[in-house]
Chains A and B, each alone.
Chain A
Amino acid sequence: MNRRYLPGPGILISVGAVVAAVLLGIVLIALIGVSIGDALDAFVDGTIGSAYAIAASVNRSVVFALVGIGFVFANRANLTNVGGEGQIALGGIAATAVALYGHVAELPLGLSFALPMLAAVAAGALWGGLAGILKTRAGTNEVISTLLLSFIAVWLLYWCVQSNALLRQPMTNSATLPESLEIPDLTKLPLVTADPSLPLNIGLPLTLLIAVIVAMFLTRGTVGLRLRAIGLNPLAARRAGIATERYAVAAMLMAGGLGGLAGALMLQGDQYVLKDGFSSGYGFDGLVVGLLARGSVTGVIASALLFGFLRSGGISMELQAGVPSAVVRIIQGIIVVALAGAVYWIDRRGTSR
């Protein structure tokens, strides 16, 4: 068995970075003047306090995981997709458009909710693929292009929900909010269990399936090997006859498509209406989840769960205990910094011999 695929010191160091960041966060809460007991109670209530809280946290994690898996996939080819936010937004737009105006609600065999999802995947893939094409044809750095495409997508969404010609609900009076109509019930994602107090939708098994397939192809598949070669030495990969440009575009299509799917899950599984601020930072958190995973899909699942529960707990701490949600953001920031430090440390230890 190849050691590469076993959890190595990298995972342990990631966990260590997270623990250190959380401890710092607790100190921060105390400094603000909120009772640590109240804050922790609120955190527990919002994360594992009830079946509903758990389900809500898991659904958040699923979104992070999809963006993170896409990030890890593209990153195998040394491509950094920071455009999750825009890909989610575009997925949301596509899913809303198809669910509301695609006449899909009456279709059988689950097509009513599957078609909006597919549309979202296609839209996200388009956005990611665009960055891939810019990279291979014009040499544009994908970090820049995915980031800027994100802004375009987020403002496109704003335009869609503001314009009556696009997705804004019909204006009945001056107080009509700038958002879409609610999507039909049949286009909403079915729950895994019939129990509405545990609202886990089919996004969870779908994401786990995707995670297993991607992990298998990355570690044991020829695709993973080729992507890795491209990432490590694009010249040698090209010389070996690998169509490096096609693979790069495909990797970005994949990352974008998963981002789009994440947008569909958010819309069809949770929000049901498209409104301004729809993606609300999920794409950037997903990026951090991908970074935190250090290239492993298992790592993505672990850090997605961490971020999902952290965000749920953060919302709960804000509402119940008056801890500013900014503190949770700060903890996430500290995790990123601690992780970057840890990576630097590992690399230095590796090369200074």
Chain B
Amino acid sequence: MPDSLLTLTGVTKRFGALTALNAVSLDIAPGEIHCLLGENGAGKSTLCNVIFGIHPPDEGVMSLNGVPYRPAGPADALRLGIAMVHQHFSLVPDLTVVDNLLLGQARGILDRRACAVRVEELSAEYGLALAPFARIQDLSVGERQRVEIVKCLMRNPRLLVLDEPTAVLLPPEIAALIDVCRRVAARGCGVMLVTHKLAEIKSAATRATVLRGGKTVAVSSNPAEEIGVLVRAMIQRELGPLGHAAEAALGLSDPTPAEARAAERPHDIVAQIDGLSFLDSQGVKRLDNVTIEIGRGEIVGIAGVEGNGQSELSAILSGMLRPTGGLFSVQNTDLTGRGPHDVTAAGVGIVPEDRHAVGCVTAMSVAENMFLGRLRAFSRFGLLRRAAFHRAAADLMQRFDVRASGPGAAFSSLSGGNQQKAVLARELTLSNLAFLVAAQPTRGLDVGAVEAVYGHIREACRRGVGVLLISSELDELLAVADRIVVFYRGRIVGSCPASPAYRERIGVMMSGQPA
């Protein structure tokens, strides 16, 4: 047992009726990479925020190097040598790397040159390649993350907390990040790596703690060998019956080739995307001559780092955005530039990327969300037939296993997984569904829900629905899709069958090089 750097004993944090953390105990030693595991909602982020001084714990004590640690805010945490990289970066896009680093740290006159020298030292020391005078807006997501890490390292921290750092990275960038973590740890700094992907633990972690429902449910000092135990603790079920997509979501298994699934498929084209382009109001080409054909019962996956035109594509296909060029048709009905109502009427189901912004009205009930677009079926003289309305909703909720207190429950009271199942229920029960566009359908969902979501999508495929699946989770695409099209800067870089054999190639294509 190494000397402890940070020790948490019986930390409890409540938000109203919800106990986000329930008597969590944890210790982090200098020089170790401690992985914090857990599904969405397990309390990982809350724990980070408690450590970083954002939320004071309701019960329990923390000590840093044996001294009681009671931060009044992030400023205290930083002063005492605890640095954190949040899931959402806090960088000013218009400023350079150096200016961003000096923000909030420098007083009086800015010494940009000294800062640039320091950046270069740190870059060399930790293998974090960074150009000090590049503007943030010109950097990739991976590079921006490096800026955040450098921002932390400039303070010579004793503990570096990384909250879900790999979610936004390309596969090679993940490897580089883990390498950085190792180097940081090798200099005696403690690293806490928060993740829900087990593959990362295998390669990096010296120890791991698993949270479930706000409680510590497992601690392992040899995580690479005890993955099975950790998974069971994390999702509270055996690995056996886990669906393929779910395993892929955990980064546990290599997905099996898609060829078997694609064996006998009629080659009718359901949806045709022909030379679609989109110029935004600044004249930037967000989509550039994209052509994809989706066949009956086929799942076409769109891979790529986020922000490479996927959002624009799904917005155009759902009728929310008018393309500046090209055609989109479903079953020979031209839908180019038509509104959402027409798109739905033509049999296109949409699972929007941003559930809360576009997919639902969180302040309304489950039933209202399910049938907002189909109210006419439940109206008489303009008045809603509430009983029939709720019956129909209850029926859908049962078929799609949407767990809520009832059809009248507020949509916001549902968990992310149940919200997504409700959205799927709505979109998959369109009477003439022929084509489904699912953008990031499993984002923020726990493993069980991931499985359910893909189960429903596969079921729709068997009925002949063509699916366009947009996801930044390459492993999920490999597990679910039939073929994969890779996006980079709004263009299609290449495509290939969804087989793990192509993983490397896809990774290369995601960085913009045709393979």
Asked if B382 and A240 sit within 8 Å, CB to CB, the answer is no
Residues of A within 8 A of B339 (CB): 238, 241
Asked if B364 and A353 sit within 8 Å, CB to CB, the answer is no
Asked if A353 and B361 sit within 8 Å, CB to CB, the answer is no
Q: For B18, give the chain A residue with the smallest CB separation.
A: A353
- Closest chain-B Cβ to A218's Cβ sits at a distance in Å of 11
Asked if B340 and A220 sit within 8 Å, CB to CB, the answer is no
Asked if B364 and A239 sit within 8 Å, CB to CB, the answer is no
Q: For A234, give the chain B residue with the smallest CB separation.
A: B361
| Interface locus among A104-112, A165-173, A225-233 | A225-233
- Closest chain-A Cβ to B329's Cβ sits at a distance in Å of 19
Query: B15 is contacted by which of A216, A220, A353 (Cβ under 8 Å)?
Result: A353
Asked if B363 and A237 sit within 8 Å, CB to CB, the answer is no
Contacts A220-B384, A222-B375; A237 near B15 (Cβ below 8 A): no
Residues of A within 8 A of B344 (CB): 241
> B357 on the interface (CB 8 Å rule)?
yes
Contacts A241-B341, A241-B373; A225 near B382 (Cβ below 8 A): no
Contacting residues of chain A (69-128) with chain B, CB-CB under 8 angstroms? none
> B350 on the interface (CB 8 Å rule)?
yes
- Closest chain-B Cβ to A11's Cβ sits at a distance in Å of 19
Q: For B318, give the chain A residue with the smallest CB separation.
A: A239
Contacts A217-B382, A220-B383, A220-B386; A235 near B320 (Cβ below 8 A): yes
> A242 on the interface (CB 8 Å rule)?
yes
A235 to B359 Cα, complex, angstroms: 8
Contacting residues of chain B (30-68) with chain A, CB-CB under 8 angstroms? none
Contacting residues of chain A (122-160) with chain B, CB-CB under 8 angstroms? none
> A174 on the interface (CB 8 Å rule)?
no
Residues of A within 8 A of B363 (CB): 232-233
Asked if A239 and B320 sit within 8 Å, CB to CB, the answer is yes
Contacting residues of chain B (372-397) with chain A, CB-CB under 8 angstroms? 372-373, 375-376, 378-379, 382-384, 386
Asked if A2 and B408 sit within 8 Å, CB to CB, the answer is yes
> B256 on the interface (CB 8 Å rule)?
no
> A221 on the interface (CB 8 Å rule)?
yes
Asked if B358 and A225 sit within 8 Å, CB to CB, the answer is no
A238 to B345 Cα, complex, angstroms: 14
Residues of A within 8 A of B17 (CB): 353
Contacting residues of chain B (359-374) with chain A, CB-CB under 8 angstroms? 359-364, 368, 372-373
Most A-side CB within 10 Å, residue of B357, B373, B378, B379: B373
- Residue tally, chain B, CB below 8 Å to A: 33
> A192 on the interface (CB 8 Å rule)?
no
Encode contact with B along A236-275: 1 for CB under 8 Å, 0 otherwise. 1111111100000000000000000000000000000000
- Residue tally, chain A, CB below 8 Å to B: 23
Most B-side CB within 10 Å, residue of A217, A235, A237, A353: A235
Asked if A222 and B384 sit within 8 Å, CB to CB, the answer is yes
A-B contact number at CB 8 A? 79
Asked if B383 and A237 sit within 8 Å, CB to CB, the answer is no
> A30 on the interface (CB 8 Å rule)?
no
> B323 on the interface (CB 8 Å rule)?
no
A235 to B360 Cα, complex, angstroms: 9
Contacts A216-B383, A241-B341; A225 near B375 (Cβ below 8 A): yes
> A223 on the interface (CB 8 Å rule)?
yes
> B240 on the interface (CB 8 Å rule)?
no
Residues of A within 8 A of B341 (CB): 241-243
Residues of B within 8 A of A242 (CB): 341, 372-373
Query: B358 is contacted by which of A236, A241, A243 (Cβ under 8 Å)?
Result: A236
Asked if B382 and A221 sit within 8 Å, CB to CB, the answer is yes
Query: B362 is contacted by which of A220, A222, A233 (Cβ under 8 Å)?
Result: A233
Main secondary structure of the interface of A (DSSP, over half): helix
Q: For B350, give the chain A residue with the smallest CB separation.
A: A239
Contacts A217-B383, A232-B364; A238 near B340 (Cβ below 8 A): yes
A2 to B383 Cα, complex, angstroms: 15
Residues of A within 8 A of B368 (CB): 225, 229
A232 to B372 Cα, complex, angstroms: 13
A236 to B426 Cα, complex, angstroms: 13
Query: A225 is contacted by which of B318, B352, B360, B384 (Cβ under 8 Å)?
Result: B384
Contacting residues of chain A (271-312) with chain B, CB-CB under 8 angstroms? none
Q: For B355, give the chain A residue with the smallest CB separation.
A: A236
A222 to B375 Cα, complex, angstroms: 7
A240 to B371 Cα, complex, angstroms: 9
Asked if A239 and B359 sit within 8 Å, CB to CB, the answer is yes
Asked if A235 and B358 sit within 8 Å, CB to CB, the answer is yes
Encode contact with A along B7-19: 1 for CB under 8 Å, 0 otherwise. 0000000011100
Asked if A229 and B382 sit within 8 Å, CB to CB, the answer is no
Residues of B within 8 A of A238 (CB): 320, 339-340
Residues of B within 8 A of A353 (CB): 15-17
A298 to B373 Cα, complex, angstroms: 29
Asked if B360 and A222 sit within 8 Å, CB to CB, the answer is no
Asked if B372 and A229 sit within 8 Å, CB to CB, the answer is yes
Contacting residues of chain A (309-353) with chain B, CB-CB under 8 angstroms? 353
Asked if B384 and A229 sit within 8 Å, CB to CB, the answer is no
Asked if A240 and B362 sit within 8 Å, CB to CB, the answer is no
Contacts A239-B352, A240-B340, A243-B341; A232 near B361 (Cβ below 8 A): yes
Query: B372 is contacted by which of A2, A216, A217, A237 (Cβ under 8 Å)?
Result: A237
A235 to B378 Cα, complex, angstroms: 23
Name 20 interchain pairs, CB-CB below 8 A, sorted by A: A2-B408, A217-B383, A221-B379, A222-B375, A222-B378, A225-B364, A225-B384, A235-B320, A235-B358, A236-B359, A237-B361, A238-B320, A239-B318, A239-B319, A239-B320, A239-B359, A241-B339, A241-B373, A242-B372, A353-B15
Which residues from chain B sit less than 8 Å from chain A, CB to CB?
A: 15-17, 318-320, 339-341, 344-345, 350, 352, 357-364, 368, 372-373, 375-376, 378-379, 382-384, 386, 408
Q: Which 9 A-B pairs have the closest CB atoms?
A: A353-B16, A241-B341, A240-B373, A240-B372, A241-B373, A222-B375, A233-B361, A222-B379, A232-B361
Instruction: Using A225-B384, A229-B361 as known contacts, list a sample of 16 further A-B pairs with CB atoms less than 8 Å apart, ordered by residue number in A.
Output: A216-B383, A220-B383, A220-B386, A221-B382, A221-B383, A225-B375, A226-B375, A228-B364, A233-B357, A235-B358, A236-B357, A236-B360, A237-B372, A239-B359, A240-B372, A241-B341
